[in-house]
Amino acid sequence: MRAASIIVDATSQHDLSGKLEAALRTTDISADVVFAFYGQNQDGDRISLLVTDRFPDATLIGGSSSHGVMDQYGLHQPDSIGLLMIEDPDGDYGSASRPLGDDPAGAAEEALRAALEDADCAGELPDLVWTYQAPGHEEQVMAGLKHLVGDRCPVIGGSSADDDATGVWTQISRQGATRDAVVVCVLFPSRPLGHGFQGGYEPNGHTGKITRIDGGRVTKVEGPRHSRIILEIDGRPAAAVYNGWIGGELDGKLATGGTILAETTLAPLSVFAGVEDGIDQFLLVHPEAVRSDGALTTFADVEEGSEIYCMRGDADHLIRRAGRVSRHAIKQIEDAEPAAALIIFCGGCRMAVRDQIGELCGTLKAELGDTPTIVCFTFGEQGPVLGVNKHGNLMISAVVFGS
């Protein structure tokens, strides 16, 4: 197995075509799978065309990334394009894209079946499923994927992002770019594969029970009622309770409502996921907005009747956590050396660390050295928590390919 990364900083479509085409010509990698990410203003269709022209038999998956991408050498411009190209002729890879439509779970399952067929591995269990989709229906997407593979293999991925949550995100595959689809890639590598999925927060001591959710947006997953709108915590308006937990940061929004991403990124909510090695594990839930009726909207589903925890974090902790997640993934490839690394760092966390984002590269480099690496910044993250594939917010994941 061999790998290489390409970064192109393109400020116009002319730059895109010329610089990316030139960079693709210079690589000596004969890619079998390509992961591609780019800033919101780039032309995903053009990127797909250039990649598939250069690597006509390669699997392709990716999409837009908030404020551009990072590689092993540093952070690049907001309109940058990053490719991670893996040459593994003894492995099998496949991908497929499907519109989410009215049945995101069905679309995800159909895409997974098609990806397995594309890899010529129909009916087999991949070493890993990697997914990239539009935000908003991640729990249904995970349900569809799990209907086929359960939790027998890790499902890792992210939700495509833009710079300011206005919805101009895209996803790409060999078929081009889409705005509201799920792209699924199946990986059967010939060498060891490691992965990690964690958050960088701890409880701040406040907790309550979700006593009422908005039934108008209950998501279509099996089990108890789920929603992304919390009406009440402990029988009181959810936004007021949460505001008390975070020291009145939302005082200016309680009466009129509004987006609260900036105020809540370092103080999100979470649900208890279990205990590992004696340490409590949590799945993070990022509050999105306050409604004028006192409700909270979130970027992940919550369950009526469940306990909800308030968390705390800081920029240093988030940056260090990315290194720990990478280290965890490296340990799983045992005696192999890292050949490539694919890192997801939540776009909300990226905004929270602000000017310290450049330190992320140093943290990753301490673990991965000069290993070809691409970091994308997403608006939702998926991965296994205590062996169960989940969707969460403000999470960090790493997939490391062994040489």
Q: In which band, very low, low, confident or very high, does the pLDDT at 217 lie, cut at 50, 70 and 90?
A: very low
Range of the domain at 226: 202-312
216: pLDDT strictly greater than 70: no
140 and 259 housed in the same domain? no
90 and 223 housed in the same domain? no
88 vs 134: CA distance, rounded Å: 29
248: pLDDT strictly greater than 90: yes
174 and 247 housed in the same domain? no
332 and 291 housed in the same domain? no
pLDDT in tens, 140-186: 999 999 999 999 999 999 999 999 889 999 999 999 999 999 999 99
16 and 29 housed in the same domain? yes
The answer to whether the beta carbons of residues 131 and 150 sit under 8 Å apart is no
118 vs 113: CA distance, rounded Å: 9
184 and 224 housed in the same domain? no
Tokens representing 336 are: 């192999």
**Which residues, other chains included, contact 112 with Cβ-Cβ below 8 Å and sequence gap of 6+?**
96, 129, 144, 145, 148, 149, 184, 186
The answer to whether the beta carbons of residues 197 and 128 sit under 8 Å apart is no
39 and 186 housed in the same domain? yes
175 and 270 housed in the same domain? no
State the total domains in the chain: 2
Of 21-25, 122-126, 171-175, 354-358, which range is least confident? Answer: 354-358
* Domain end point (choices 267, 282, 312): 312
SS3 376: strand
> Residues for the chain: how many in total?
403
341 vs 94: CA distance, rounded Å: 18
Work out the mean pLDDT of the chain and round it to a whole number: 94
* Domain end point (choices 269, 289, 312): 312
101 and 167 housed in the same domain? yes
* Domain end point (choices 280, 312, 344): 312
pTM over 0.85: yes
Tokens representing 367 are: 């673990």
pLDDT in tens, 300-356: 999 999 999 999 999 999 999 999 999 999 999 988 999 999 999 999 999 888 889
99 vs 179: CA distance, rounded Å: 9
pLDDT in tens, 251-271: 999 989 999 988 999 999 999
Closest CA to 153 of 186, 120, 111: 186
Number of Cβ within 10 Å of residue 332's Cβ equals 14
219: pLDDT strictly greater than 60: no
Q: What is the mean pLDDT of residues 95-112?
A: 98
Q: Backbone dihedral region of 133: left (phi > 0), alpha (psi from -120 to 50 degrees) or beta?
A: beta
182 and 209 housed in the same domain? no
pLDDT in tens, 53-94: 999 999 999 999 999 999 999 999 999 999 999 999 999 999
Q: What is the mean pLDDT of residues 348-375?
A: 93
Helix (H) or strand (E) holding 399, with range, is: strand 395-402
